[in-house]
């Protein structure tokens, strides 16, 4: 067998082991039904290996970063968060081969930007809020070709990344230029990315003030996004999935303003809030240990958290079904909930009952 075939088998074996690691996850996977199972198989066989190869090529660049602390964080963001890229590519399951390949290349580079910058903000001491905003200029530059790229490290942290971040930005811009309807979704991409950059800047501020600051920030946007707690809005701003959904839309043969508006409304704040709240749900113990802000811990009680997240899941499912090929988008939601709510961390923290209640909302 060829080396490439062996690599494909290795990638699929890892993902299948992850997906089927527990009887509960297996049972709930079966409940996806024949169409859902067929989509899962296509995702595992066609998309995951391609995403893994794209990420491995990026890792080779990360390993060549001259500055030790930047190299360590770049490699950690890849080695510890590969599933972000694999999961972020899930909509490639429903694209023709050529478009799927382009989509995976975009998502791999773009999600790596998200994860690398998140590591620089979370794990490096002494990085200022000003630097957080400047660093994330790379994300804005990647998604908006009207911007002129600048020096992303001018406010810190110190060190030479050997052009690593700039190369990822250039990768995304080059591929987006070949996406048929990129110009039509560019404004929405820039707006959603800007929300993300603002969140990263605010939530990494002074621990004593950041909740009040984030609450005041939501108050500025409550009219546009009513009915949320401030931490639900913040969670929505922390997801890359609305960006990926818009890029997927831009690869379709024909789109219009109505389709763009509907996709944004379904994914932001709906899908994005569910995504990040589930991520925080399984990280509660870890965040308590490190005294980090956890949005699920902001709810008045566990019961309220389960009720609110379940309500968001139901509302999100309804919005996704209203989209063109809504069953494909709902597959993304179901796969995401399945991954997070049957994760080993759920059982380690004895969150089984809460997890089952949220899954029942599907």
What are the C-alpha distances in Å from 54 to residues 18, 43, 70, 242, 336? 20, 15, 21, 21, 21
Q: Left if phi > 0, otherwise alpha if psi is -120 to 50, otherwise beta: which for 159? A: left
Between 355 and 18, whose confidence is greater?
355
Q: Are residues 347 and 201 in the same domain?
A: yes
300-355 pLDDT, tens digit each: 999 999 999 999 999 999 999 999 999 999 999 999 998 898 888 998 999 999 99
Note the pLDDT tens digit of each residue in 236-295.
999 999 999 999 999 999 999 999 999 999 999 999 999 999 999 999 998 998 888 999
| 155 Cβ contact partners less than 8 Å away, ≥ 6 residues apart | 128, 130, 131, 133, 134, 135
- Specify whether 334 is located in the same domain as 188: yes
pLDDT(157) > 80: yes
Q: Which domain holds residue 78?
A: 1-125
Looking at residue 204, what is its pLDDT?
83
The pLDDT of residue 5 is: 46
Within-domain flag for 175: no
The residue from 125, 144, 166 where one domain ends is 125
- Residues 96 and 189 both lie in one domain: no
Q: Are residues 211 and 351 in the same domain?
A: yes
Looking at the structure, do residues 235 and 339 belong to the same domain, yes or no? Answer: yes
Q: Tell me what pLDDT residue 24 has.
A: 62
In a domain, 359, yes or no: yes
Return the pLDDT at 285.
94
Average pLDDT for residues 206-228, to the nearest whole number? 95
Residue 134, in any domain of the structure: no
Query: Is the same domain home to 117 and 210?
Result: no
pLDDT of residue 40: 87
Same domain, 234 and 330: yes
Residue 173's pLDDT band, with cuts at 50, 70 and 90, is: very high
- Residues 197, 330: one domain? yes
Split at pLDDT 50, 70, 90, the class of 29 is low
What is the structure's pLDDT at 264? 98
How many domains is the chain built from? 2
Domain end marker among 125, 140, 163: 125
Per-residue pLDDT at 58 exceeds 90: yes
How much is the average pLDDT of 167-180?
98
Portion of the chain with pLDDT greater than 90, in percent: 78
CB contact at 8 A, 152 and 181: no
Q: Are residues 53 and 198 in the same domain?
A: no
Confidence bin at 177 (pLDDT 50/70/90): very high
The answer to whether position 135 is within a domain reads: no
Integer angstrom CA distances of residue 330 from 53, 182, 256, 318: 27, 23, 21, 9
User: How far from 182 is each of 142, 143, 252, 336, CA to CA, in Å?
Assistant: 12, 9, 10, 26
Same domain, 325 and 219: yes
Which residues 6+ apart lie within 8 Å of 16 measured at CB? 44
Burial 160-173 (b: 16+ CB within 10 A, else e): ebbebbbebbebbb
- Domain membership of residue 25 (yes or no) is yes
Do the domain assignments include residue 159? no
Residue 360 belongs to some domain of the structure: yes
Pair 112, 27 in one domain: yes
Tens of pLDDT, residues 114-145: 999 999 998 888 888 899 999 999 999 999 99
* Contacts of range 4-11, beta carbons closer than 8 Å, 24 or more positions apart: 7/49, 7/52, 7/53, 8/49, 11/48, 11/49, 11/52
Q: How high does pLDDT run on average in the chain?
A: 91
When comparing pLDDT for 172 and 26, which is higher?
Answer: 172
> Which DSSP letter does residue 90 get?
G
Residue 243 is assigned to a structural domain of this protein: yes
Residue with tokens 């839309």: 249
- Percent of the chain having pLDDT more than 70? 91
For residue 235, pLDDT beyond 70: yes
Tokens 């950059």 -> residue: 197
User: Domain check: are 321 and 211 in the same one?
Assistant: yes
Domain boundary pick from 80, 109, 125: 125
């Amino acid at each position: 067998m060829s080396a490439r075939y062996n690599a494909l088998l290795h990638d699929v074996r890892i993902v299948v082991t992850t997906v089927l690691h527990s009887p509960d996850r297996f049972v709930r996977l079966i409940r996806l039904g024949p169409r859902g199972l067929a989509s899962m198989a296509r995702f595992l066989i066609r998309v995951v290996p391609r995403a893994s190869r794209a990420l491995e090529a990026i890792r080779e660049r990360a390993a060549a970063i001259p500055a030790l602390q930047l190299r360590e964080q770049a490699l950690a963001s890849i080695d510890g968060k590969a599933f972000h890229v694999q999961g972020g590519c899930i909509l490639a399951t429903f694209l023709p081969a050529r478009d799927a390949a382009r989509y995976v290349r975009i998502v791999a580079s773009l999600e790596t930007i998200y994860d690398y910058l998140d590591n620089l903000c979370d794990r490096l001491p002494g990085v200022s809020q000003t630097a957080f905003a400047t660093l994330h200029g790379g994300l804005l530059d990647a998604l908006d070709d009207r911007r002129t790229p600048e020096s992303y490290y001018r406010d810190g942290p110190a060190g030479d990344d050997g052009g690593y971040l700039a190369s990822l930005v250039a990768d995304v811009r080059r591929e987006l230029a070949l996406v048929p309807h990129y110009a039509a979704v560019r404004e929405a991409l820039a707006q959603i990315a800007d929300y993300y950059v603002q969140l990263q800047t605010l939530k990494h501020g002074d621990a004593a003030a950041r909740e009040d600051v984030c609450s005041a920030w939501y108050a500025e946007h409550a009219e546009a996004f009513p009915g949320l707690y401030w931490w639900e809005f913040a969670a929505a701003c922390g997801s890359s999935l609305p960006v990926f959904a818009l890029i997927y839309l831009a690869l379709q043969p024909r789109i219009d303003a109505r389709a763009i508006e509907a996709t944004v409304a379904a994914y932001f704040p709906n899908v994005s809030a569910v995504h990040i709240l589930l991520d925080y749900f399984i990280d509660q113990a870890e965040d308590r240990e490190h005294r980090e802000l956890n949005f699920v811990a902001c709810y008045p009680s566990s019961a309220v958290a389960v009720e609110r997240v379940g309500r968001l899941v139901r509302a999100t499912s309804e919005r996704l079904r209203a989209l063109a090929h809504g069953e494909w988008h709902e597959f993304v939601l179901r796969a995401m909930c399945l991954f997070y709510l049957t994760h080993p961390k759920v059982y380690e923290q004895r969150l089984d009952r809460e997890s089952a209640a949220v899954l029942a909302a599907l």
